[in-house]
Chain A
Amino acid sequence: MVSPPAAIGLSDADFERFCEYFYKRTGIHFTSAKRYFVDKRIDACIRSSRYDTFAAWFAALRMSDHGEMLQELINQLTVNETYFLREDYQFDAMLSTVLPEVLKARGGRGRIAGPLKILSLPCSTGEEPYSIALRLLEEWDEIDHVDVEIHGADIDSDVLAKAAHASYGERSVQRVPKAWMNKYFVVVGGGRYQVDEGIRSAVTLHRVNICDTAAMRSFRDFDVIFCRNVLIYFDELSSRRAAENLYGALRPGGYLFLGHSGSMSRISPIFTPTRLPEGLVYQRPTGAK
């Protein structure tokens, strides 16, 4: 190992080898259209780990495999920008249609066994699971009568650490009503706002790869899953695998929200598409066949 290089040049063959390796580890597929994006982030990883060539860094990465180097790489190559109450028409659908249906299907208020479970995957820096919590606390009357568990999961350990800290800049919270800001956020200086302890402690965070079937087996019986704008990063096989894992994580009759850019129809037929006034949602069928 030597001092950081001025620039790391990846050959086309290096790029292909790297993409094949990263795909096998994560299910995320990069085409040559993403070359500039990938090159820049590999360059950052090589510099931070103080190797002088791609070959040396790549060899060390493969040797360490699931270690810190791979995690740093995943953190660099996954896109994490989001904000509070993003695509909130889907939260509208959750409140007005989905949760009442879930409650009814599970026996109704007072007879429901166990909590309602909601999963945000990927949750990135936490804006989505905390948005769900805010909308439930402020706008769902049943919240005083039903227990709700909110879980957030992501492949990227850095964003999960930020989600746990839950401190956000002005841009991230610009859509949060002022009254909610006053009620649920604490000013922490530097123009940042931290979600209050009560909500932070109610969200359970996990690190998991959505394409890892064995790891995803521990996610079970969710009533609602938000998996928005991530399947578009996967190739066809990884998308199928992710869809299977999401299906397994849902309770029969449970609901899956994909983002505006997502569609399950070209990935897998195992979900039942359901048209709501606010848009399309996918359901795990209740019947065996």
Chain B
Amino acid sequence: MGLVRKKAPQDPPEEVLPDRTSPETLLSQLDDPDADCRREAALGLANVPEAVHDLLARVGTEDDPRVLESILTTLAAHDTEEVAGSLAVHLASDEAGLRTAVAAALATMPSSVPAVLPGLLAAPDHDVRVMTAMVLADLQHPEAHAWLVRMICEDPHPNVVTGAIDALLPSATADDIPLLTDAVERFPDDPFLRFTVKSALPRLTGTP
């Protein structure tokens, strides 16, 4: 007993070779009853464009959240308008876990999200627009801040504006103070929006 070595020492250190399971096998494993097997299959389909349709089809039906995460990780790497558009549909889902997971995946897709953004910002369901603010909160895109500003200035629903303010605050500066106070004036009867801005102002103004 004690410290043991996996196998005889090698010099130089052993290089790990990639797994070579075929895409066809991996696609069939997406239907495996074992969640770990489905999860591994979804991850193994990274860099396999032909698998995108099968993976997209499972986003709304996969009931294991960890398998769903792996499907979304693989899909997000494709970062195409087709994938972004298909994922964005789920921002309207009744399932909180699904729409939150999709929002997190879209936030890692800076190349394709701008193409679907106009539709999301104009979505009739204000909950979709709230989720869009969540996407923009983490999207690494030079225009993300400007899109959030637009939501704060123009969106007619106080929950959306509050969501956009929440998303903006980590990167907000003193220059954003008029934007925030104007939002409070636009929705004078919304206590949560007022509280959100009031809580943030001391940091932005540099006062205790």
Q: Which residues of A contact B (CB under 8 A)?
A: 115, 133, 136-137, 143-151, 153, 157, 160-161, 163-164, 198-199, 201-208, 212-219, 235-237, 240-241, 244-245, 247-248, 266, 268-270, 285, 288-289
In the bound complex, residues from chain B placing their C-beta under 8 Å from that of A204 are 5-7, 9, 14
User: Of A202, A219, A244, A285, which is within 8 A of B69 by CB?
Assistant: A244
Give the nearest-CB partner of B100 in chain A: A269
Most central of A157, A216, A268 by chain B CB within 10 Å: A268
In the bound complex, residues from chain B placing their C-beta under 8 Å from that of A285 are 66
From B16-24, B81-89, B117-125, the one touching the partner chain is: B16-24
In the bound complex, how far is the Cα of B76 from the Cα of A241, in angstroms?
A: 10
B85 to chain A, nearest CB (A): 18
Q: Check A270 against B11 for contact (C-beta < 8 Å).
A: no
Give the nearest-CB partner of B14 in chain A: A206
User: Of A148, A151, A157, A241, which is within 8 A of B73 by CB?
Assistant: A241
Tell me if B181 is interfacial: C-beta within 8 Å of chain A: no
Interface SS of chain A: helix, strand, loop or mixed?
mixed
In the bound complex, how far is the Cα of B43 from the Cα of A247, in angstroms?
A: 12
> Given contacts A151-B6, A241-B77, is CB(A270)–CB(B66) below 8 Å?
yes
Q: Which residues of B contact A (CB under 8 A)?
A: 1-7, 9, 11-20, 35-36, 39-40, 43-44, 46, 63-66, 69-70, 73, 76-77, 79, 101, 107-109, 138, 140
Q: Check B69 against A148 for contact (C-beta < 8 Å).
A: no
In the bound complex, residues from chain B placing their C-beta under 8 Å from that of A288 are 35-36, 64
In the bound complex, residues from chain B placing their C-beta under 8 Å from that of A244 are 43, 69-70, 73
Q: Check A144 against B18 for contact (C-beta < 8 Å).
A: no
In the bound complex, how far is the Cα of B6 from the Cα of A202, in angstroms?
A: 8
A selection of 23 A-B contacts at a CB cut-off of 8 Å is A137-B2, A145-B1, A147-B2, A151-B6, A202-B3, A202-B5, A206-B15, A207-B16, A214-B44, A216-B16, A217-B19, A217-B40, A218-B16, A235-B108, A236-B138, A237-B76, A237-B77, A240-B76, A241-B46, A266-B138, A288-B35, A288-B36, A289-B63
